[in-house]
Amino acid sequence: MFLKFPSVHLYSFLRLGIAFLGAQIMRDKIIYKSSELFLNLGFKSVTMDDIASEMGISKKTIYVHFSNKTKLVEAVTFHLFDTISCGIDDICENAPNPIEELYSIKMYVMHHLKNEKTSPQYQLKKYYPSIHDALKLKQFDKMHESVSDSLKNGIETEVFRSNIDVEFIARLYFNGMTGIKDESIFPRSKFDMNYLMENFLEYHLRAIVTEKGFKILNQFINNQSKS
């Protein structure tokens, strides 16, 4: 025997479902466009009016989904983090070895932020410190986990030295990767971000590779220089 639901209730349920889906789609569109504007123009420079104008919607529509700009910045920040984290997970699962894995992650991150014309980390720290601090904790947890797994895999496959301190190296790597983004130490007028990441990776890997890993690293760097 099949249960029968009053058609009026089913219709109301469907309307609610469609309305929820539409609201979610609009929310995602706002986050996507805001991400683009924040990375290009900066968190401080972009206003709710700018976002509404770019999207061809009213500012009131944005406020339906985000009560204020801080809430929107927070949503955009963690959306970008989640997107990049998913991409990194895919790379870790498919990389042929831990050395190429790190370079692939670097290239993925640079590609994902290729339109970045401002210094989002600096602006986030200056104008939205609580969001910056929360992001940094999430970044540390993610990087610590993935780098630790990579180091252990490297030891098992004999491309990294067996006597390295995984916990220490993983934390040092995070500190180094966040440190090169500090413009007070590495001003963009002197150091391109791709250059900084490339050189830091080579510096990091040369300190921990075995002879087998050294050959893989050199071959990978030589192939990169030819392409």
pLDDT at 8 (0 to 100): 52
Q: Specify if 36 maps to a domain.
A: no
Q: Specify if 25 maps to a domain.
A: no
Number of domains in the chain: 1
- Please give the single-letter amino acid code of residue 184: S
Contacts of 136 by beta carbon, 8 Å cutoff, 6+ apart:
178
Q: Is 67 exposed, middle or buried (0-12, 13-18, 19+ CB in 10 A)?
A: exposed
Averaged pLDDT score across all residues of the chain: 88
Q: Specify if 18 maps to a domain.
A: no
- Using DSSP's 3-state secondary structure scheme, residue 189 falls into coil
Decide: pTM greater than 0.85: no
Q: Specify if 7 maps to a domain.
A: no
- pLDDT tens digits, 97-133: 999 999 999 888 887 766 555 577 788 989 999 999 9
Question: Tell me, what CATH number does 154's domain have?
Answer: 1.10.357.10
Domain span at residue 177? 69-226
Percentage of the chain exceeding pLDDT 90: 70
**Which helix (H) or strand (E) is 210 found in, with range?**
none
What is the separation of C-alpha 211 from the centre of its chain, rounded to a whole number of angstroms?
A: 32
Q: Specify if 147 maps to a domain.
A: yes
- Total residues belonging to the chain: 227
- pLDDT tens digits, 134-188: 999 999 999 999 999 999 999 999 999 999 999 999 999 999 999 998 888 998 8
Q: Specify if 64 maps to a domain.
A: no
Q: Specify if 118 maps to a domain.
A: yes
Q: Specify if 92 maps to a domain.
A: yes
- pLDDT tens digits, 56-71: 999 999 999 999 999 9
SS (H, E, C) 60-93: HHHHHHCCCHHHHHHHHHHHHHHHHHHHHHHHHH
In DSSP terms, which residues pair with 209 in a beta bridge?
A: 160
Contacts of 150 by beta carbon, 8 Å cutoff, 6+ apart:
92, 98, 101, 102
